Amino acid sequence: MVGLLVAGCSVNGDPVGDESDLTARAVAASSFPSGPATRVPTPAVKDALADITGRPLRGDVSPAGCTPGAMRTESATVLVGASPQAGGVGTLTSAVVGTDESLADLTATARRCPVVTLGAGGGATTRVSTEVAPAPPTVDGVETTALRRSLQTGGDAAPLVTTVTLLIAQRDDVRVYVEERHQGAAPLTEEAGAALDRLFTASVSAAFG
């Protein structure tokens, strides 16, 4: 996965405890458009989800009221594969995870907090700009939303910029994240966008039938 830009940061409150293994509801590695994906090892799942959700493991979120809800990291499954984004600098990620946060609350927080700063304690910070994008179609009681993020780390002089597009689905307390992430500020290409859509469809089908 490109970066793990926010994994070095933490917020008050522990992740939601494990209730059930969601492995059987994860998309197949062979469903990734650019070749089979790799499952993130269990010890690294918390870091991967911190990266995806924007809820860091160490440090602060400013404003504090913009901190995303906690995930049940112990039961989550995350797979990462290549993105067809031009230049070969991107990844596609699919995650299935339990949460007590509603999708409506997640979307409302994104609208209320278009710019946040993630602090890493040692002086490094990441500025995250978020836009709520048109949501994918909903089916069979599955709610959906979409976010576009620009992450800037390292100050204004020579920042590292990462562009993220997230498609998210949820039914009851199970949430699916499908993400395209690439270095630089270039927009998502048509090919990469189509690959993201296909992976999202496959991930929603695997999680919710």
Q: What is the DSSP string of 33-78?
A: TTS--EEPPGGGHHHHHHHHHS--BSSEEESGGGPPPPEEEEEEEE
pLDDT at 120: 58
Under the banding of pLDDT at 50, 70 and 90, the label for residue 121 is low
Torsions phi, psi of 181, nearest 5? -135, 130
pLDDT at 5: 38
Whether residue 12 is contained in a domain is answered as no
Burial of 145 (0-12, 13-18, 19+ CB in 10 A): buried
Whether residue 161 is contained in a domain is answered as yes
Angstrom distances, CA of residue 2 to CA of 20, 90, 105, 130, 205? 28, 7, 27, 18, 26
Joined together, the tokens standing for residue 7 give 């994994």
Under the banding of pLDDT at 50, 70 and 90, the label for residue 15 is very low
Whether residue 6 is contained in a domain is answered as no
Torsions phi, psi of 137, nearest 5? -60, 150
Residues 137-181: tens digit of each pLDDT: 988 899 999 999 999 998 777 789 999 999 999 999 999 999 999
Number of domains present in the structure of the chain: 1
Q: Cα(first)–Cα(last) distance of the chain, in Å?
A: 27
Query: Whole domain around residue 192: which residue ranges?
Result: 23-208
Specify the CATH number for the domain of residue 129.
Answer: 3.40.1000
Under the banding of pLDDT at 50, 70 and 90, the label for residue 3 is very low
Residues 72-106: tens digit of each pLDDT: 999 999 999 999 997 778 999 999 999 999 999 99
Whether residue 11 is contained in a domain is answered as no
pLDDT at 194: 97
Polymer length in residues for the chain: 209
Secondary structure of residue 150 in the 3-state scheme: strand
Instruction: Say whether pLDDT at 23 is over 50.
Output: yes
The position carrying tokens 């278009």 is: 114
Beta pairing, strands 160-171 & 174-183 = antiparallel
Whether residue 63 is contained in a domain is answered as yes
pTM of the model: 0.88
pLDDT at 122: 55
Whether residue 70 is contained in a domain is answered as yes
- The number of beta carbons lying within 10 Å of the beta carbon of residue 17 is 11
Q: Is the peptide bond before 63 cis (omega within 30 degrees of 0)?
A: yes
Residue 194 to residue 92: CA distance in whole angstroms: 12
Under the banding of pLDDT at 50, 70 and 90, the label for residue 123 is low
Angstrom distances, CA of residue 63 to CA of 82, 115, 116, 128, 167? 33, 9, 6, 12, 24
